[in-house]
Amino acid sequence: MHRALSLVSLTVILAACQPAPRQPEVGRTAPPVDRPVAPLSMVPANVCWATDRVPAETRTVFDETGPDGARTPREEILRPSEERLFAVPCPEQMSGDFIASLQRALRVRGLFTGAVTGAMNAQTEAAVRSFQAPQGLNSAILSLEGAQLLGLVPVARGTL
């Protein structure tokens, strides 16, 4: 029940588009934010954090500009851009063996077709983004929840 609720909350919070991956900031302490992705009670104490930029959601509207019915496009902001904070495996956990396991787990799910190299390359990042998108996180940075869903890191007993 808690897991389903957390997935629904995560999906609602993160439903947004995102540009190509950029180098994220990964750190041990969480910067202050209004709403972390995972409820803090579900995140182990020894976790690291990453931020990722979620672009603004816009739509194009057309305004009539003349008597002849000419229309001019204009972008309307539906949701402003924001920084998102989410729990991630710490850098020391992201060894070559861990990344190779990640690549194999993504391959089993049909998301990764490259060679298992143990290196976090563009193809691996694209597969991570595809895996996490249904959970509402459109990021190439592997989240802690994504790693748990893939069976790569343990899930705390209280969160089951």
Average pLDDT of the chain? 77
**For the residues 126-150, what does the mean pLDDT come to?**
92
- Please, which pLDDT band fits residue 158 given cuts at 50, 70 and 90? low
What is the reported pLDDT for 45?
60
Burial class from Cβ neighbours inside 10 Å (0-12, 13-18, 19+) for residue 47 reads middle
8-30 per-position pLDDT tens digit: 444 434 443 333 334 444 454 44
Maximum average pLDDT range among 15-24, 31-40, 47-56, 112-121 = 112-121
In the chain, the DSSP E strands lie at 25-27, 48-54, 57-64, 71-79, 82-88
- 160 or 100: which carries more pLDDT confidence? 100
